[in-house]
Amino acid sequence: MAGVAGSEATTISAAELTERLAPILAEYAGKDGAVISLLQDVQEEFGFLEPSAMTDVADALDLPVSHLYGVASFYSQFYFEPRGKNVVKVCTGTACHIRGAPAIQARLEEQLGIGPGETTADLKFTLETVNCVGCCALAPVVSINDRVLNRREQRKLKGWIQTERAEEPTSQEGAS
């Protein structure tokens, strides 16, 4: 899991932050045990757990921010740093493991130049491992932005990475 990084310089203004957080905070106001659901929504809004958003949420819930980080850091689906435009996930479930996932992971690490849980400096790729996506018939499985690739697409992965890398920022998304 990525470490807790509070040093990320935020580019979001305080006013924008309040505005984007308001509907989320309103939805969970007064509900018991909503911390995890609330953080999930915050992450969906900002792409990761934005440090200043965490502070605001803690204030709104009247909880120490350390409590929120304590909860969030326990779960692998919370991210403390911005993630890449393309999240490439290698399934490391049992079926994938015995059908060659370690080799695929090693190859992707080499091609992307990052380890699992890391994001490239240009914010184009994040490489992650997932315990099982449940498409064991297609093992070994790779997904891009939660879409599982079929065999044909998987073979073209290297070319796709090169194309994506060469593209100018803010172009269209997804693999074909």
Q: Which residues bind other proteins (CB under 8 A)?
A: 32-37, 39-40, 70-71, 74-78, 92-104, 107, 130-141, 146, 148, 150-151, 154-155, 158
User: From the CB of residue 30, how many other CB atoms can be counted at a distance below 10 Å?
Assistant: 5
Rounded CA gap, 7 and 81, in Å?
Answer: 10
CB nearer other proteins, residue 30 or residue 33: 33
Q: How far is the CB of 104 from other proteins (least distance, A)?
A: 6
CA angle, residues 88, 116, 126, in degrees to nearest 5: 40
**Shortest gap between Cβ of 74 and other proteins (angstroms)?**
4
Comparison of 52 and 154: residue with beta carbon closer to other proteins: 154
Q: Which two tokens stand for residue 130?
A: 């997932």
The nearest distance, CB 15 to other proteins, in angstroms, is: 28
Q: From the CB of 169, what's the least distance to other proteins, in Å?
A: 27
Of 161, 154, 91, which is closest to residue 122 (Cα–Cα)?
A: 161
| Cβ closest to other proteins, residue 13 vs residue 131 | 131
Residue nearer to other proteins on the CB measure, 12 or 116: 116
Distance of CA 48 to CAs 39, 44, 155, Å?
9, 7, 30
